[in-house]
Homo-oligomer: A and B are copies of this chain.
Amino acid sequence: MPHDAQVPTPGRRQRGVSRIERPGVAVDVAVLTAKGGTLRALLVTRTTKPYKGQLALAGGLIRLDESLDAAALRVLSTKAGLQHVYLEQLYTFGRPGRDPRMRVIAVAYVALVHSGLAEACRAAGACWLRVRVPWQGEVGGPVDILDDDGRKVQLAFDHADVLGMAVKRIRGKLNYTPIGFQLLAEQFTLRELQDVHETILGVDVNKDSFRRRMLTSGDLEATGERENDVDHRPAELYRFTRRSAI
């Protein structure tokens, strides 16, 4: 139940510090994946007020003894059943009124997961909806979320803005870091990697240049194996040489 108040705790008084009216602090995680040429975000249906019944990012109030990163990892694990995925702090949203019931500061994170892990999330009650980015490049702004019939869906809170910021960040990062690997299985072909880049960037990239850039970057190594079960010449499989995970 993200953004919800919890029942009052006994309230261990902090030494020398009186308790005053303070905002709640939450983490919200924008989990993205790329499947079939479309960008998808992980969303959960809210079961409590406010925005009860609407879709929202996975989120929750932080605990007093856990770090922000730990809170984001906990939310990922408990709300989406996800572990060992790429995770990075994104931006902090704090507009008064973004939560209609109380002041909540939301530290947003972005996570990237391989589309093969999507089923595990469905089991946890989450769904993956299509993200349509109504701006080009790194302009920024909220995104549109579409259901399976292509209709626009209204998200809770300012979560469409959070997802917009997430796409903007990932697009920017793609230019100078090998972040696209995070959306693929351990072994992948150059074509799959290019598809991921094009899905995130929202534009086609030059194939020749892309291949050259990837192969000379030093971030890839050939596995010697080839894909199979394709009805054309199979491509070489590569692996990321510095696979990092939190």
Residues on A lying within 8 angstroms of B by beta carbon are 5-9, 11-12, 14-25, 62, 64-68, 89, 91-92, 94-96, 101-103, 105, 107
Contacts of A96 in B (CB 8 A): 64-67
Residue of B nearest to A49 (CB): B16
By the criterion CB–CB under 8 Å, are A20 and B14 in contact? Answer: no
Report the 6 A-B pairs with minimum CB-CB distance, sorted nearest first.
A68-B94, A5-B17, A8-B18, A22-B22, A92-B92, A14-B102
Contact across chains for B5 and A21 when beta carbons are under 8 A apart: no
Provided the pairs A66-B96, A67-B95, A95-B67 are in contact, do residues A18 and B7 lie with their beta carbons within 8 angstroms? yes
Q: In the bound complex, do residue A21 and residue B64 qualify as a contact, i.e. CB atoms below 8 Å apart?
A: yes
17 sampled A-B residue pairs with Cβ under 8 A: A5-B16, A5-B20, A7-B18, A8-B19, A11-B20, A14-B101, A19-B19, A22-B22, A23-B62, A23-B64, A25-B25, A64-B96, A65-B103, A66-B96, A92-B92, A94-B107, A105-B105
A14 to B5, CA, bound (A): 11
Residues of chain B within 8 A of A95, CB atoms compared = 67-68
Q: With the chains together, A70 CA to B96 CA distance in Å?
A: 11
Is A19 touching B18 in the complex (CB atoms < 8 A)? no
Contact among B22, B67, B105 for A68, CB-based, below 8 A? B105
Q: How far is the CB of A91 from chain B (nearest CB, A)?
A: 6
B24/A5 in contact, CB under 8 A: no
Chain B positions within 8 Å of A62 at CB level: 23, 94, 105
Closest B residue to A95 by beta carbon equals: B67
Shortest CB-to-CB span from A78 to chain B, Å, is 19
Residues in chain B near residue A23, CB distance under 8 A: 22, 25, 62, 64
Nearest Cβ distance between residue A146 and chain B, in whole angstroms?
A: 29
With beta carbons under 8 angstroms apart, the residue of B9, B89, B101 that contacts A21 is B9
Q: Which residues of chain B are near A24, meaning CB under 8 Å? A: 22
A17 touching B101, Cβ below 8 Å: yes
A96 vs B25: C-alpha distance in the bound complex, in angstroms?
13
Given A22-B23, A22-B24, A15-B67 contact (CB < 8 Å): no
CB distance from A69 to the nearest CB of B (A): 8
Report the Cα distance A25→B62, complex, angstroms.
12
Residue in B19, B66, B91 whose CB lies within 8 Å of A89: B91
